[in-house]
Amino acid sequence: MNRSTFSRSAQLLCVAGLAAALAACSGQPQSPADATPAQAPAAEAPAISLIPLPAIAVPGEGRFVLSPATPLLADGDAARTVAGQFAALVAKGLAVEPRLLDGTDADGAEAKGAIRFSIDPSRAGAGAESYLLEVTPAGVIVSAGDAAGLFYGAMSLAQLATVDDAGAVSVPAVRIEDAPRFAWRGFMMDPSRHFWSVDQVRQVIDAMAMHKLNTLHWHLTDDQGWRVEIKQYPKLTEIGGCRIPAGDGGIEPSTGKPRQYCGFYTQDQVREIVAYAAARHITVVPELNQPGHATAAIAAYPELGTTDQKLVPSSEWGVFPNLFNTEESTITFLENVMDELIPLFPGTYLHVGGDEAVKDQWEASARVQERMREVGAKTEMEMQSHIVARLQKYLAAHGKRLIGWDEILEGPMPAEATVMSWRGIEGGLKAAREGHDVVMTPSSDLYLDYLQTHSPDEPPGRPATIPMRQVYDFEPVPKELEESQRHHILGLQANMWTEHTRTFERLQHNVFPRLAAVAETGWTPKERKDYAGFLRRLPDQLERYRHWGVGYAQTPFQVDATAEHDRKAGTATVTLESPLAYEVRYTTDGSEPTASSTLYKAPVPVTLPAQLRAAAFADGHALATARTHTYDATSLLTRTDEQLATCPDAGRLLLRLEDDGPADGERAIFNTTIFYPCWQWNGADLDGVASMKVRAGKIPYYFQLAHDEPARRFEPARSAHGELDIHADGCGGERIASVPLPAKPGADGFVDIVAELPQGVAGKRDLCLRFTGDTRPTMWVLDRATLQLR
């Protein structure tokens, strides 16, 4: 390669850092947490737009032009496979497909303008998954010690290819020497709650590969569905693979009969998906959840359970009491299931769950208590640990390792078991200090079913937000963990639970682009991470998403607005915000914002009626379609459920829930808390207000809260179906209005309730709106509230 395109100072910088960087990386996977290169000088800024950011990148001069005539050279079968994958990817994203030459053609093309892919045994010491990428205007070399590293080098090269205004595709000259920080860079996909087709799983695998993620945790069994064919137990999918959704979603509109929601993967489909992932250097880890989250399995084979109650796969969400029983025959069942799973998944690990196993049924069962005495278990948790130990021994005999959620730490645990720490990092700390390997996946930072902005356009999920910055800043190796135990931190994983994710578009919305932040933490040396630099590179990643067909959330790139109004003066002050703090520009004349529109610097005073159109910009380009915010005297008298606050006493579980109907198509979405149905309009201007109109709906109450059930509160009803109560100055203040609720809403699922307010109530007051009565199996939800003037 012609290295004259690199400056002498850049070469020295590269050489100075490489030895330390690659020596650190070479310890993977044995010491992934320590696989960080020497810290680069603070003045070194990212010169190329890649996500995740490489360990070392030295820019050169000029660009390499990529065209259909560009020859691809490959040394050996593994290199030919990677070269073909690279060609297909750039063809899909950039409509340019370079030529993969066979041996005869390649002899004459050593040459000029070629891209060479090569497995170089001499690079084995650089560490697993590491690669070298060298780009000059004359040619490109991608080399690595193994096929995974070569593949990741190809992914970097594909990311660097861009199209200019004339339609030409080129790659900037650069030298990248790169290796991952962590050995486990994972994503968990949940088809048990909502099922994803083989094609959709493939799409997720493609996107993972693009981000250099290497582990797909596949959550195949739960209370709501058993999703993998087990030939010895066909009822697991015949019965356990189907449920009837709650409410109108479970009724066939044309017949009024129950409408099942079904889905499972045949073993042939599993093999297909596992092979597809393996070709992209992604290992699939299946999860067989036990002893809890077992309702679907027990519904199929009741003899596996600890209850006489007839069970069906659940249409509800939450924590269920249904556990597998502790009989030897049930352990044999689990082993038989693993017998069929093990050949399908050639990776090292099999996940055995272990989370949220409420022991009420075991405590109440005389037979379970007898069984505990038989095996010498003093507590129910020790009984669970006995089963875990049995499964670990069985897996070890079949060349596998056991991994489970951090609850398995609560009893004696096999030394060889690996822990997935989800309830914060504390479980991971404890496990590592006890000598267990750990994958960090705390719900506080890496659960992507939590919403990412406060936008009213967010889909159903958990409004307790985990914004991009929080995901990016998560550090998998706790600073308090002793140096001698840090090698036990295998890496990190983002989890996407799908109770509230009914469509694949919503799954993509929740996952992307936050998965890019997870990927950077998993790959990039800690010292190289820089959130501001990540945000500068993110718009280019969005362009790649568009080219490669990856759906992603628009909400982080849209502009949110809030307004404070003076009704008497007919004015308002509008505050604009970009969730990711990109530059905001706006117009007030109805025109589309451009890079030359007014730059937002401070809240904007407007005279009503007014319309603001605002968009976020990076490098002069709008990051999403402009949002229009319209204000007039009427609109400022209304607050939606998203705009209302949660009552201070409403409990900790605020959810963004979807209506149960229509069976197909879009449904209404509500912010509500299931522990205490209450909303608050803070600072409501009641001068001249005669009444409040509340638009309310009713949806199924589809939650199992286990031991959290006593925390649910409701105000006693004073009439047949309860009331809408309105209190001034918070929920502890005076009740200023109360209206009886109907037995059910109207045909459209809603009802408008008008509450007259006393004439003496005026000024700005904090209004508490709450529904009384325990209305389960349904619950009232608030859609919007409007102040009506006298």
Q: What is the CATH classification number for the domain harbouring 678? A: 2.60.120.260
Query: Shortest CA distance to 659 belongs to which of 709, 702, 694, 723?
Result: 702
- The per-residue pLDDT of the chain, averaged, comes to 92
Q: Are residues 494 and 600 in the same domain?
A: no
Q: Are residues 570 and 532 in the same domain?
A: no
| CB neighbours of residue 339 within 10 Å | 13
Q: Which of 217, 219, 293, 509 is catalytic?
A: 293
Q: Which of 177, 222, 540, 659 is catalytic?
A: 222
**331 forms bridges with which residues in the sheet?**
none
pLDDT digits (tens, 9 = 90+) for 653-711: 789 999 999 988 899 999 998 888 899 999 999 999 999 999 999 999 999 989 988 88
Q: What single letter denotes the amino acid at residue 428?
A: G
- The answer to which of 120-124, 147-151, 179-183 has the lowest mean pLDDT is 120-124
Query: Shortest CA distance to 324 belongs to which of 383, 375, 243, 262?
Result: 383
Q: Are residues 268 and 361 in the same domain?
A: yes
- The alpha-helical segments, DSSP class H, found in 46-102 are 77-94
Q: What pLDDT was estimated at residue 507? A: 98
Q: Are residues 352 and 397 in the same domain?
A: yes
Domain contains 501: yes
Percent of the chain whose predicted confidence (pLDDT) is above 70: 93
Domain contains 342: yes
- Position 100 pLDDT exceeds 90: yes
Q: Are residues 207 and 344 in the same domain?
A: yes
Active site residue 293: yes
Active site residue 564: no
- The answer to which of 21-35, 452-466, 497-511, 748-762 has the lowest mean pLDDT is 21-35
Q: How far apart are CA 267 and CA 772, in angstroms?
A: 50
Q: What pLDDT was estimated at residue 709? A: 86
Q: How sure is the predictor about 5, in pLDDT bands with cuts at 50, 70 and 90? A: very low
Phi, psi of 270 (to 5 degrees): -60, -45
**Domain span holding position 544:** 184-548
Q: What pLDDT was estimated at residue 111? A: 62
- Position 208 pLDDT exceeds 90: yes
pTM higher than 0.75: yes
* CATH number for the domain that contains residue 608: 2.60.40
Average pLDDT for residues 578-607, to the nearest whole number? 98
Q: What pLDDT was estimated at residue 47? A: 60
- Position 35 pLDDT exceeds 60: no
Active site residue 356: yes
Picking from 178, 201, 217, the residue at the C-terminal end of a domain is 178
Query: Shortest CA distance to 313 belongs to which of 332, 340, 328, 294?
Result: 294
Contact 419, 401 (CB under 8 A): no
Percent of the chain whose predicted confidence (pLDDT) is above 90: 86
Chain centroid offset of residue 687 CA: 45
- Position 281 pLDDT exceeds 90: yes
Domain contains 290: yes
Q: Are residues 583 and 669 in the same domain?
A: no
Q: Collapse the DSSP code of 636 into the 3-class scheme (helix H, G, I; strand E, B; otherwise coil) and give the result.
A: helix
| CB neighbours of residue 193 within 10 Å | 21
Query: Shortest CA distance to 767 belongs to which of 689, 705, 677, 685?
Result: 685
Q: Which of 316, 340, 356, 530 is catalytic?
A: 356
Q: Are residues 109 and 165 in the same domain?
A: yes
* CATH number for the domain that contains residue 425: 3.20.20.80
Q: Are residues 253 and 202 in the same domain?
A: yes
Domain contains 513: yes
Domain contains 553: no
Contact 197, 165 (CB under 8 A): no
Domain contains 437: yes
Q: What single letter denotes the amino acid at residue 406?
A: D
Q: How far apart are CA 348 and CA 217, in angstroms?
A: 12
Distances (CA, A) of 722 to 34, 712, 772, 780: 60, 17, 5, 10
Q: How many domains does the chain have?
A: 4
Q: What single letter denotes the amino acid at residue 647?
A: C
Q: What single letter denotes the amino acid at residue 327?
A: E
Distances (CA, A) of 206 to 138, 331, 512: 30, 36, 13
Q: What single letter denotes the amino acid at residue 518?
A: V
Picking from 122, 145, 178, the residue at the C-terminal end of a domain is 178
Average pLDDT for residues 580-608, to the nearest whole number? 97
- Termini Cα distance of the chain: 81
* CATH number for the domain that contains residue 172: 3.30.379.10
Q: Are residues 174 and 199 in the same domain?
A: no
Q: Are residues 467 and 351 in the same domain?
A: yes
Q: What pLDDT was estimated at residue 21? A: 41
- β-pairing, 703-704 vs 317-318, is parallel
Q: Are residues 215 and 161 in the same domain?
A: no
- Position 30 pLDDT exceeds 60: no
Picking from 131, 150, 178, the residue at the C-terminal end of a domain is 178
Contact 549, 73 (CB under 8 A): no
Phi, psi of 336 (to 5 degrees): -65, -40
Distances (CA, A) of 766 to 152, 238, 769: 55, 53, 10
pLDDT digits (tens, 9 = 90+) for 166-197: 889 999 999 999 999 999 999 999 999 999 99
Q: What pLDDT was estimated at residue 48? A: 87
Q: Are residues 393 and 542 in the same domain?
A: yes
CB-count exposure of residue 479 (10 Å: 0-12, 13-18, 19+): exposed
- Give the gyration radius of the chain's Cα atoms: 29
Q: How sure is the predictor about 110, in pLDDT bands with cuts at 50, 70 and 90? A: low
Domain contains 112: yes
pLDDT digits (tens, 9 = 90+) for 38-91: 333 333 344 689 999 999 999 999 999 999 999 999 999 999 999 999 999 999
